[in-house]
A and B are shown apart, each in its own frame.
Chain A
Amino acid sequence: MTFSILLKRLGYGVLLMLGVVVLNFLLIRLAPGDPAMVIAGEMGGATEEMLSSIRAEYGLDQPVLTQLWIYISNVATGDLGQSYFFNQSVTSLIAQRIGPTILLVLVAQLLSILLGVFMGVIAARRPNGPISAFVSVFATVGYAVPVFWTGIMLIIFFASVFPIFPVEGMASIRMRNAAWYMQWLDIAHHLVLPAVTLAIIYLAQYARLSRASMMEVLGSDYIRTARAKGAGERAVLFRHALRNAALPILTVAGLQFGNLISGALLVETVFNWPGMGRLAFDSILRRDYPTIMGVLFFASMMVVVANILTDLSYRLADPRLRGKG
């Protein structure tokens, strides 16, 4: 039952990814200029020899549909082309960078959901209280602050005023030969500021959302039942109410994932975090299209996977949805 739903979701995910591949192909074709030049990158140094090898590899002298077919079958075998700037295959470039991005995005997502939901729950208990007011103001402010600017402000503060966190990169060079757990601690230490920067915007949104959601749930009949049983305030809030209020939060968390990756792109650039965002930035500056398209492909794949996971966790959280297509 659940297994067939998973298969269905996976199938749809593959279809969406196929769409991304076709889009990538179309974008290269629609871009002004010779596709071979576009792929080689406008570094000015593309030799005729290089261009003809690109034309051969991508089948650019063949009909458009054949080209599309070649492109799709290349991607299907994990070949996203060659980065002429980095002089590496795009797949291996991304393989080096995808880990740090996943780490950053997941930690930020977790941080913002946990803290945001906690704030929202506390605020919902007293809809007119000071915490509620704080959550509303914080949510509006958090929404309006450009994420890259928050990062810069944190760098200024933690570099010059209160230097307890590293403001750049993912690992210290002096830790290169340290024990593995020291290296992990070092990465965690470096992760603090980028993750907090990225989490702040979404934290505010989750706080506002869970406040609204909790307020609605707290007015429902089954909460009254729980109280009538003699359940204490904490059990009512965190056991009975939150499980129900979490459903819209999960939905938003899924939808938010794409935005989170966009945010990560800026945050990685600000903090020199060696992830895909940083790679995207570098390859865009160099007009390294195969790499850019590869990043777009893998970033979309992360969103698709996140959506599938959200969908599954949604079914897990809400028994009414289990077994429904």
Chain B
Amino acid sequence: MTGTTAQKAPEARSPAREAWRMYRRNLPAVAGAIILLAIIGATLYGTFFYGGDPFEIVWAPHEAPGATPEFPLGTDYLGRDIVAGLLTGGGPTLAVGAAAALITMIIGVSLGALAGYYGGWLDNLLMRFTEFFQVLPALLFAMVLITLFSPSLWTIAIAIGVVSWPQTARLTRAEFLKIKELEYVTAARAIGAKNGRIIWKVILPNAAPPLIVSATLTIGVAILFEAGLSFLGLGDPNQMSWGLMIGANREYILDAWWPVTFPGLAIFLTVFAVSLVGDGLNDAFNPKLRER
């Protein structure tokens, strides 16, 4: 077996180190990562320092930001503290975003890998299936699923995953189609590696860079999805979330701009940071593109 080392699969570790070096030098990407870490930190530990129940009515309604030092960003239409809402509302959004992205990747990568690797009728069948899912307007389909199976963080994450995987599947399939023709895959097959092993240990690691980038961007899309669903009132009613804050205060936007503005900024900043990280990873994995 050692006789064929000349055509070994490229080492997975050193490109990762190379990518990390590229990433570190990319200012927007580093800024995105820092913002994202700060937001995650604030949603995890913020309430620990700030305290406060986001559902509790603590003051007069529609107190403007800065008017009372106790409530720096003011209160909403019921007199609930907006800072408390922001700090607790990020948790569900981020958790659902991450879980939904994970589900998306699991479904998308599995189906895409099978279609791309085996080809033939299986590919045909899976791609028709994918096309079918792309016909359904994602948000509407997710709304239907959530309404049928009653909203909780898990149903929301699953619903978002179920409607978002087709793009990942297409990407994975394209990568597999490309990589399975390369010499080291042929070599692995020549030494008798089983299909499962080739898919998992040979092709997948080499398809990882674009999939990692896509996973990152999927988190961003999933966060926007969760926000949209909560805004429509389809989120978990027992959890404060940024989308819910906007939805709940929607009727009063002409009386008070702040209860809707700050949660929206929070969503924007989070997704913006995620996409900066995604772009940064993309550039880090494609150093040739950057040099031009």
Contact = CB atoms under 8 A, between A and B. Distances in A.
A and B touch in their complex, CB below 8 angstroms? yes
Contacts of B43: none
A261 B232 contact: no
A295 interface: yes
B231 A266 contact: yes
A85 B125 CA distance: 39
B271 A143 contact: yes
Interface stretch (A68-76, A191-199, A237-245, A277-285): A277-285
A155 interface: yes
Contacts of B149: 31-32
Interface in B211-256: 220, 224, 227-228, 231-234, 243, 246, 250, 253-254
A258 interface: yes
Contacts of B132: 16, 19-20
B141 A296 contact: yes
Question: Most chain-B Cβ atoms within 10 A of its Cβ — which of A146, A159, A307?
Answer: A146
B119 interface: no
Contacts of B250: 152, 270
Interface size class of B (residues with CB under 8 A): 35 or more
Contacts of B276: 140
A295 B131 CA distance: 19
13 contacts: A16-B135, A27-B144, A140-B272, A144-B220, A144-B271, A145-B268, A149-B260, A153-B264, A156-B257, A258-B136, A265-B137, A265-B143, A296-B140
Interface string B115-135: 000000000000000011011
A159 to B, nearest CB: 6
Contacts of A19: 132, 135
Chain B interface helix/strand/loop/mixed: helix
B272 A262 contact: no
A261 B233 contact: no
A281 B234 CA distance: 10
Contact of A146 (B145, B228, B257, B275): B228
Interface in A140-167: 140-141, 143-149, 152-153, 155-156, 159-160
A172 B187 CA distance: 71
Contacts of B147: 284, 287, 292
A144 B222 CA distance: 11
B68 interface: no
A262 B143 CA distance: 10
Interface size class of A (residues with CB under 8 A): 35 or more
Contacts of A262: 137-140, 228
Given A140-B272, A258-B138, A293-B144, A148 B246 contact: yes
Interface in B258-281: 260-261, 264, 267-269, 271-272, 274-276, 279
A284 B279 contact: no
Nearest to A155: B253
Nearest to B225: A262
Nearest to A295: B140
B1 interface: no
Interface in B60-75: none
B140 A299 contact: yes
Interface in A265-307: 265-266, 269-270, 280-281, 284-285, 287, 289, 292-293, 295-296, 299-300, 303-304, 307
B191 interface: no
Nearest to A23: B136
Question: Most chain-B Cβ atoms within 10 A of its Cβ — which of A31, A262, A269?
Answer: A262
A141 B264 CA distance: 13
